[in-house]
Amino acid sequence: MPSLSQVNLESYLLAQLSTPLDCLVCGAENCQSAERCLRCRAPVALARQAADCKREPAFVAVLGAGGVGKTVFLGMAMDMLLRRVGGLRATVRGPHSISLQQTATTALASGWYPEKTSMNPEHWHWVHCQVECGRRRKVHEIVLADIAGDAWAQEADRPGSHVAAPAILAKCAAVMVVADAERLHAGDHNADFVVHKLLSTIGELSGGSRRKPDPRPLALVFTKADACPRAADDPLGFAESHCRALLTDCASRFPNTKVFAASVAGASANRDLHGRRRPVPLRIEPRGVVEPFGWLLTQL
Ligand SMILES: Nc1nc2c(ncn2[C@@H]2O[C@H](COP(=O)(O)OP(=O)(O)OP(=O)(O)O)[C@@H](O)[C@H]2O)c(=O)[nH]1
Ligand SMILES: [Mg+2]
Ligand SMILES: [Zn+2]
């Protein structure tokens, strides 16, 4: 006699997976269970986290050419914000939001600077965090990405080379331009051209006319100020004397521009690794790292 057995049809699981989830960055439809967006490779979790927020998170576009110090600066800033240093209290949303801080602090704690950020969008660090600031403890939701400087340079030359980059430029609510004080002091302006092109792209993408000033805040941050005391003491004076064209471009496109100087290391030295001389941080003494974020948030 045949025996009967019961099999549960869990078709509701298939129905759940068939509901697409729009990528927060590029808007492409993704499967609910996907880890990275199939188009821009940003974490799909950003969209899931944003769905839980009361208001849409504000994108901060962090621009800067290769080697200007974005990963060190942003990683240290996240570490300090999460430790609630400097009057700002941050809470990260999603485990992917911790990897930037982890990459930077792990390297610095072992006596090295982090590796150059990969050109592969799969390896870019994305942070979604909630930050409380000001006396009234106003809550902001922000999203930022640490994109490889070489990818920004490619995007500046050939717009659309990387899907995530123009998406950030199109929807950013605030801009942070990262510039290397040491290189500017030495008269090296190669990195400026990347920023000029990207700022121009932001203007084009937002469709703003040149007559209407862009109300979005822009923080121009000079990194490696430990190696350039002039920038640390007077960031605006340094900008006027060492990169006037960059400052003028920022301020004419974004009248709400403020200049900052920051450093993560107290000093650097060179050390041999597999026959190659590499700079290493001698002491970790962050200065001026949280201030640009504090200002941008109050301006949002
Ligand atoms: N003196 C000093 N040097 C720094 C500091 N921060 C970064 N550097 C140096 O700048 C180099 C590049 O820093 P990164 O943060 O990797 O630069 P990046 O902008 O992320 O570069 P890409 O990943 O290529 O886009 C480091 O390897 C250090 O040599 C700092 O606070 N002080
Ligand atoms: Mg980097
Ligand atoms: Zn996407």
Region 52-69 average pLDDT: 94
C-alpha–C-alpha distance, residues 28 and 214, integer Å: 28
- From 113, 146, 268, the mutation candidate for ligand 1 (largest count of ligand atoms within 8 A of CB) is 113
d(CA 185, CA 240): 12
Please name the residue whose Cα sits nearest to atom 30 of ligand 1. Answer: 224
Identify whether the C-beta of residue 64 lies closer than 8 Å to the C-beta of residue 70.
yes
Structure tokens at 152: 């920004």
In 3D space, the residue among 200, 155, 145 whose CA is nearest the CA of residue 176 turns out to be 145
Confidence of residue 12 (pLDDT cuts 50, 70, 90): low
> How does pLDDT run across 18-30, given as a tens digit for each residue?
688 999 999 999 9
Q: What is the rounded average pLDDT for all residues in the chain? A: 92
**Per-residue pLDDT for 100 more than 60?**
yes
Residue 165: alpha-carbon gap to chain centroid: 11
Rounded CA gap, 94 and 163, in Å? 22
Task: State the pLDDT at residue 6.
Answer: 74
pLDDT at 13 exceeding the cut of 60: no
Radius of gyration of the chain (CA): 21
Specify the residue with its C-alpha closest to ligand 1, atom 15: 69
- 115 pLDDT more than 80: yes
From ligand 2's centre to the CA of 148, what distance in Å? 5
| 107: helix, strand or coil | helix
With a cut of 80, say whether residue 159 has pLDDT above it: yes
Taking the centre of ligand 2 as the mean of its atom positions, its distance from the CA of residue 69, in whole angstroms, is 7
* pLDDT for position 107: 97
Is the model more confident about 135 or about 143?
143
* Statement: residue 219 has pLDDT above 90: yes
pLDDT at residue 10, as a whole number:
62
Tell which atom from ligand 1 comes closest to the C-alpha of 65.
25
Question: Does position 272 have pLDDT exceeding 80, yes or no?
Answer: yes
Amino acid, single-letter form, for residue 179: A
Q: What pLDDT sits at residue 248? A: 98
Ligand 3 center to 40 CA (angstroms): 4
Ligand 2 centroid distance, CA of 140 (Å) = 25
Question: Mean per-residue pLDDT for 95-114?
Answer: 96
Pocket of ligand 1 (CB under 6 A): 64, 66-72, 113-114, 116-117, 148-150, 223-224, 226-227, 263-265, 268, 279
Supply the pLDDT for residue 8. 67
Could you tell me the pLDDT band of residue 90, with boundaries at 50, 70 and 90? Answer: very high
pLDDT attached to residue 210 = 57
Give CA–CA dist 217/279, Å, rounded. 33
Residue pair 296/217 in contact (Cβ under 8 Å)? The answer is yes
Nearest CA to ligand 1 atom 12: 67
Picking from 211, 209, 204, the residue whose alpha carbon sits closest to that of residue 170 is 204
- Could you please report the per-residue DSSP string of 11-49? HHHHHHHHS-EE-TTT--EE-TT-SB-TTT--BTHHHHH
Average pLDDT over residues 140-159: 96
pLDDT over 90 for what percent of the chain? 79
Which residues lie at CB < 5 A from ion ligand 2?
71, 117
- The predicted-structure confidence for 177-210, as pLDDT tens digits, reads as follows 999 999 999 999 999 999 999 999 999 988 765 5
Q: Output the residue whose Cα is nearest ligand 1's atom 22.
A: 66
Least confident piece of the model among 55-59, 186-190, 220-224? 55-59
Measured in Å, residue 196 CA sits from the centre of ligand 3 at 25
Give the model's confidence band at 1: pLDDT under 50 very low, under 70 low, under 90 confident, else very high: low
pTM, entire model: 0.93
Identify the residue with better confidence: 178 or 13.
Answer: 178
